[in-house]
Structure formats: C-alpha cells, structure tokens
Amino acid sequence: MKKKDKIWQSIQTFGRSLLLPVALMAPIGMVMGICNAFTQSYMIEQFPWLSNTVLQTTLNSLKNITSVIFNNIPLLFAMGVAYGLSKKEKGIAVFSSVVAYLTLNIVMNVYLTVTGTLAPAETMSQLGQGTVLGVQTLKIEALGGIIAGIVAAKCTDRFYKLELPLAFAFFSGKKSVPIISFVLMIPIGLILPFFWGIITNILISGSVILMNKYVGPGIYITLNRLLIPFGLHHVLSSIVRFTEAGGVYMIEGQQYVGILNAMNEILFNLGPTHPAWNEYMPTLSSYIAPAQMLTTLFRIPAVGLAMYKTAYLKNKKIAKGVIITVCLTAFLGNITEPLEFTLLLVSPMLFFTYSILAGITTIPLAFLDVKMGYIRGTIFDFGIFGMLYENTNWINLVILGVINFVIFYYAFIFMIKKFNLATPGREDFDLDEGASLLLKEKRYREIAEIVIDGLGGAINILTVENCVSRLRIDIDKPELINKDRVRESGCLGIFLPSEKHIHVVFGPHVEAVKNAVDDALRQVGQN
C-alpha cells in the first residue's frame, strides 16, 4: 500500500472510530432533551398537565440518568477511539483507554498543583479547569479522551504479544498493555497543559471565521457536508460542539466551552425568559438544530422530489421506493447519508454543488433570529424545541425552509436534465426490483452473501465496520471487486474513498447487513 493511501486510510479509520460515541449520544440526547424540556417551570406553566407528580418524578429521573452520558463524553470518546483504531484485542484496548484517561486527568492535576495554577473551586471554570470523575483538572473535553484512546489502541496493537523475562512473565502479553498505557500517559499529561494554551489560541483564531455571525454557519455546513463521504464530519462537529473553536460563553458567571455546552445551559436550565436566550441562542442555533433541519426537513425532500420528477416513467415505481426511504430516514431519523452518497455516486459535481448550495442557503439563518435546539434535525425536534417553546421564531425557519426547498428542487431538476445524470430511475438499465426486495423483505443473509461475493470473497475482506448508513470495508485486492455484483444486493451506492477501502451504502438497514456479513465471514473461517 502506498504511503499516501496508508495515511488516508488512517484518517478514515479515525473518523469512523468516533461513530460509536456519537451514535450513543444521539438517542440518549433526544431523551434527555425531551425530559429537560418538559421539566422546566415555564413549560409546566404552559401545559399544567406536566405538573403531575408521578410524571415529573419520572422525567427528572430520566434526565439525571441520561445526563451521565453527556457528563462523561471524553471517557466515551476514549473507549470509542480505542475500539475503532485497534486492530487486535479490542477489549483490552478499551480497558486500557479507561486507564489512560484516568491517568491523564490525575497527572494534569499534579501539574497544575505543582506549578501553582490549580484554581479555586469557585473560579476554576473561568480558567478552563473543572472536575472530571472527582479530579480537578484541565478541561480539555473530548481531546483528552481521543488522546487516551489513540495511545491505548497503539499500545494494544504493538504490545499485546509482548514477551518479558521469566521473572516478570505474569505481566506479559495483554496484561502489559494497560501498564504501558499508564506509563505513557504520565509524560503526555505533563506536556499537554503547556501546549494546551497554544492550541487553544490557534482554535480560537480559526474560529474567528468559522464562528462569524453572518457567514460562519454557511462555511460550517458546507465543510460538514463535504466531509461526510470521508467520515470526518464527526470530527468537525465535535470540535465545534465541545472545544474553544465553537466559542467560549460566559453565562451567569460560568464559562461554557463549545456550542453544545452553552446551548444545554440556556435551553434546559435558564429558558426563553433569560437574557442569554436572546443574546446567544440565535448564534448557537445556526450551527445545530435549525441548520440541520433545513437539510432534513426541506433540502433532502426537495432533492428526492426532483429525482422522482426526472426519473424515467418505466422506473418511477422502483425509484419511488428508494427515494421515499432515504427522505423518511432523514425526516424522521436525521440520517442524511443515504441520499448524499447517492448524489456522490451519480456525480461528484452534483454532490459538491449540493454541499456548496447547502452552505449558501444556511447563511440567511443568522439574520432570522431563530432560537431552537437540539442537535438532531428531525421533525420531532422541530415540534418539541420549536413549536412548544416560546420565543423561538420557528415560523422564520419554515419560511427559509420553503425557500430552500424551491431552490434545491429547481436546481436539481436543472442539473439532472442538463447533464443527463443517472439519478435513481434514470439509469441506462432498469432498476432491479428483485434486488430492492432483498432489503424490503429483510433477507440479510442473501444480501451478505452477494456483498462478500462481489468484493472478491471472504479471503479478500480484511475488516468490516459500519456507520449509520454504510458498510466500511478494508479489502486486500481492489481488482477483485465486482461493483455490478455488489449492486445486486440492493445497496444504495458504492464509493471507494481510497484504493483498498470501500463504502457500501444500505441506509437504515446497515446494522443488520453488517451483522449478517460478520456471521457469514465467521462461518467461512470456521469451515
């Protein structure tokens, strides 16, 4: 493998390693958001039935339970990165990542103590410090978890078969990995605080453009869309949500780093009547829920309708099923990748235009004073955090959304016809109804067999992972891939981001397909 391909594959692997904690945060965050919303005093005043003691006890209990996830995001990132990056003994890697993360925080505490920079409890948040798992330390948020996860993964792959002299043989092999991870994190924990100030300044400098009130949301959305094929949009989102690049906000004397941390405080604790609502929420909203809602509720349905409108008459029936599926997946589940990968498969130019246009049409959001949460862009978020909250100006989002719908619909009608693009229903061949039935009838075993065969057999498949919409497969010999055979599985698209790495898009079915592929490969290995 070429050095360039190795680097690119490493970036790919790192990007998808973030998927596990992000996937956990999405449904848990939805539950926490609903509970937080319905336990606020102003919501109870608007809907007196919410004051029911049993209901409030239940909601507050769920709020406390779900909050443990968001209070420990760095630890989740540590385990997720370790699991995703390690090639061998993933369980040991995850265990070692926890050891590494705990060590990192206590070492930074020691550094702050020895240098006399450990802040008093009442002012530590203003100085970028906080309590992590009972230890006052530097609040480097997700970065700390990512570093710990990388160290643990690399140690696992390097030392899981380590042989020590007989006197120390008990600590050989897998037992050595957490010990080595512990040792390595000591110098890292001592060096990191020194460089953190420099890193912070760089991030803040970059955020001048990214967080610009007027064009920042547009730039962010464009980059977010363009990075989706490479799985790196999660990296960008995490940086904006949890680090200084997303801004530092002083609210009620407390410092909140990143967009999501600030929004959580305002949305769930202070409410629409607090001055911070009008001061910060329009900016914060432009990067999270409303910006995403423009895509899930308006742009993707518009693109889907344009595809159906331009489909050949003979293929409309099959195309309709595919298009409705990808649109509903976005509308109800905030999963946009199936359609976006379809665009990329049809024409990179079409996907690039989609990404740029999404950024441009997001810019007006900054002028419309929309104040809505949460991080998901579903119709449920719109109803709860838009229509049920006061002072959200949700109607302005709808107006902008309708304009987005019209722009995207006619833009895609024009481009598809002008360049005769093979969007669903416009292929040179009839869509295989039988293949689409495989997914519809949930015949995942058959799908797995087709995918494996199309990729050159089990012997040609090195690793199989998945994200929210696609299989991510490392292969040995790319020349053995038969794309036509893979398409017989009913997949929504095929994409090769690097020479020996392939994405096969299955939308919401991907987890079931992944499990079927794993079972099939395991069976081959046993025979």
Structurally, what CATH architecture does the domain formed by 433-526 represent? 2-Layer Sandwich (3.30)
Element (H, E) at 255: strand 254-257
Q: Please state the domain extents for the chain.
A: 3-205, 216-284, 433-526
Give the model confidence (pLDDT) of 287-308 as tens digits.
988 999 999 999 999 999 999 9
Supply the pLDDT for residue 361. Answer: 96
Cα three-residue angle 330-331-333, rounded to 5 degrees: 60
- pLDDT class of 431 with cuts at 50, 70, 90: very low
Say how many residues make up the chain.
Answer: 527
Q: For residues 467 and 336, what is the distance between their CA atoms, to the nearest angstrom?
A: 12
Q: Is the pTM here over 0.95, yes or no? A: no
Q: Which of 510, 460, 519, 462 is nearest to 490 (CA)?
A: 510
Q: For residues 326 and 317, what is the distance between their CA atoms, to the nearest angstrom?
A: 15
Per the CB < 8 A criterion, the answer to whether 129 and 118 are in contact is yes
Does the active-site annotation cover 155? no
Given 35, 155, 327, 467, the catalytic residue = 467
Q: For residues 441 and 369, what is the distance between their CA atoms, to the nearest angstrom?
A: 46
Supply the pLDDT for residue 211. Answer: 83
Q: For residues 256 and 227, what is the distance between their CA atoms, to the nearest angstrom?
A: 27
Provide the token pair at 267.
Answer: 């949305």
Least confident range from 37-51, 344-358, 442-456: namely: 37-51
Asked if residue 429 has pLDDT above 50, the reply is: no
Supply the pLDDT for residue 213. Answer: 81
b/e per residue 35-45 (b: at least 16 CB within 10 A): bbbbbbeebee
Supply the pLDDT for residue 195. Answer: 82
User: How many Cβ atoms sit within 10 Å of the Cβ of residue 330?
Assistant: 27
Supply the pLDDT for residue 10. Answer: 65
Asked if residue 24 has pLDDT above 80, the reply is: no
Give the model confidence (pLDDT) of 221-275 as tens digits.
998 888 776 555 766 777 788 777 788 899 998 889 889 889 989 988 898 989 9
Q: Which of 316-320, 364-368, 403-407, 519-523 has the highest mean pLDDT?
A: 403-407
Q: Which of 37-41, 330-334, 385-389, 492-496 has the highest mean pLDDT?
A: 385-389
